[in-house]
Amino acid sequence: MPSTESSRILCVSVHDVAPQTWPLCERLLQAVRAVADIPLTLLVVPAYHHHPAADTAGYDRLLEQRLSVGDELALHGYTHLDEGSAPACWRDKFMRRVYTQGEGEFAALSAADARQRLAWGLEWFEHRKWPVHGFVAPAWLLGQGAWQALNDFAFQYTTTLSRFHFLAERQSLYSPSLVYSARSKWGSAMSRRGNTIWSGMLRNAPLARLGLHPRDAHHPQTIRHFQKTIEKLLVTRVAMTKTSFAQTWCAAANRDVQPHCDGMAAGEAKK
Ligand SMILES: [Zn+2]
């Protein structure tokens, strides 16, 4: 395990892993593997869009295989659907209905509802005896209730679009995720261009994050782009799962080696 004293880190995650999306996820996994045999973090949704798989045993075996080769499975919501109360203002409406297309499950839940969904998710992992240390909210949207609920669980980390949060330490690190838009050809091309510029700007950042979504598998240019990005980042970085990064970083911070996390006071907005 490399130490953060000398290495910059790369975390690559695959979002929205579920039986329904698995064929696309598999294409992403193969595309990554074609350029680098690196550990990945798979963000798993136990009841994606309320449709549990017919053949859960087969799907479970596939995820077991990923665990056995060193990948991490993290909880990524329960249904991946925003079923919270109606948006109160135009900004919320835009974020929840248009920008995230109604998928920000934890954007507007009460603490009690968020707690319930986190508990269901953990039960799903427990039933399979699989380790789980991370929670990433769908669309990276965590409302106040979700932040409150997270305090009641032992997750080591969560991530938002721009930050990596070390939950037990109540610290966070500015670390924006590279992510591709795939809603239109134009959006997809723009996001590739943006990611090229962004990954250059983050050259000296301790952590680079790359988030892949099943929809990315539909775009050969996006696949080639993230393959090149991974190759380029690995020239100066070591890849690890998010849990490994959280553990390595916090161990180094505790030894006072690289304590560059920004402090986060209790109750402070964590966006
Ligand atoms: Zn998602």
pLDDT, tens only, 23-68:
999 999 999 999 999 999 999 999 999 876 667 889 999 999 999 9
Q: In this predicted structure, what is the pLDDT of residue 102?
A: 73
Cα radius of gyration rounded to whole Å, the chain: 18
- Give me the mean pLDDT over the 128-132 stretch: 97
The larger pLDDT score, comparing residue 226 to residue 2, is at 226
User: Amino acid letter at 32?
Assistant: V
- Give me the mean pLDDT over the 124-143 stretch: 95
Q: How far is the CA of 118 from the centre of ligand 1 (A)?
A: 15
Lowest-confidence segment of 3-12, 47-56, 189-198, 247-256 by average pLDDT: 189-198
Q: Which residue has the tokens 């995820």?
A: 63
Q: Is the pLDDT of residue 22 over 80?
A: yes
- Rounded Cα gap, residues 194 and 43, in angstroms: 24
Q: What is the mean pLDDT of the chain?
A: 85
Q: In this predicted structure, what is the pLDDT of residue 1?
A: 40
User: Amino acid letter at 12?
Assistant: V
Q: How far is the CA of 103 from the centre of ligand 1 (A)?
A: 7
Q: Is the pLDDT of residue 263 over 90?
A: no
- Give me the mean pLDDT over the 183-197 stretch: 64
Q: How far is the CA of 149 from the centre of ligand 1 (A)?
A: 19
Q: Is the pLDDT of residue 186 over 80?
A: no
Q: How far is the CA of 17 from the centre of ligand 1 (A)?
A: 8
Q: How far is the CA of 256 from the centre of ligand 1 (A)?
A: 34
Burial class of residue 92 (count of CB atoms within 10 Å of its CB; 0-12, 13-18, 19+): middle
Measured in whole angstroms, the distance separating CA 23 from the mean position of its chain's CA atoms is 19
For residues 238 and 249, the answer to whether their CB atoms sit within 8 Å is no
Q: How far is the CA of 76 from the centre of ligand 1 (A)?
A: 7
Domain-wise residue ranges, the chain: 8-263
Lowest-confidence segment of 78-82, 196-200, 239-243, 254-258 by average pLDDT: 254-258
The larger pLDDT score, comparing residue 92 to residue 73, is at 73
Q: How far is the CA of 177 from the centre of ligand 1 (A)?
A: 13
Q: Give me the residues paired with residue 157 across strands.
A: 134, 166
Q: In this predicted structure, what is the pLDDT of residue 252?
A: 85
Count CB neighbours of 150 within 10 A.
22
Q: How far is the CA of 210 from the centre of ligand 1 (A)?
A: 13
Q: How far is the CA of 234 from the centre of ligand 1 (A)?
A: 25
Q: Is the pLDDT of residue 131 over 70?
A: yes
Q: How far is the CA of 258 from the centre of ligand 1 (A)?
A: 31
Q: How far is the CA of 22 from the centre of ligand 1 (A)?
A: 13
Q: How far is the CA of 27 from the centre of ligand 1 (A)?
A: 17
Q: How far is the CA of 37 from the centre of ligand 1 (A)?
A: 23
Helix (H, G, I), strand (E, B) or coil at 179: strand
Q: How far is the CA of 226 from the centre of ligand 1 (A)?
A: 18
Q: In this predicted structure, what is the pLDDT of residue 54?
A: 63
Q: Is the pLDDT of residue 174 over 80?
A: yes
DSSP letters spanning 191-219? HHHHHHHHHHHTTT-SEEEEEE-GGGGG-
In which band, very low, low, confident or very high, does the pLDDT at 197 lie, cut at 50, 70 and 90? low
For residues 34 and 227, the answer to whether their CB atoms sit within 8 Å is yes
Measured in whole angstroms, the distance separating CA 257 from the mean position of its chain's CA atoms is 26
- Rounded Cα gap, residues 150 and 64, in angstroms: 26
In which band, very low, low, confident or very high, does the pLDDT at 271 lie, cut at 50, 70 and 90? very low
Q: Which residue has the tokens 């507007």?
A: 108
Q: In this predicted structure, what is the pLDDT of residue 16?
A: 96
Contacts of 76 (CB under 8 A, 6+ apart): 15, 16, 17, 43, 44, 45, 135, 136, 137, 138
Percentage of the chain modeled with pLDDT above 90 = 65
CA dihedral 107, 108, 109, 115 (to 10 degrees): 30
CATH topology for the 8-263 domain: TIM Barrel (3.20.20)
Q: Token pair of 80, please? A: 């991946």
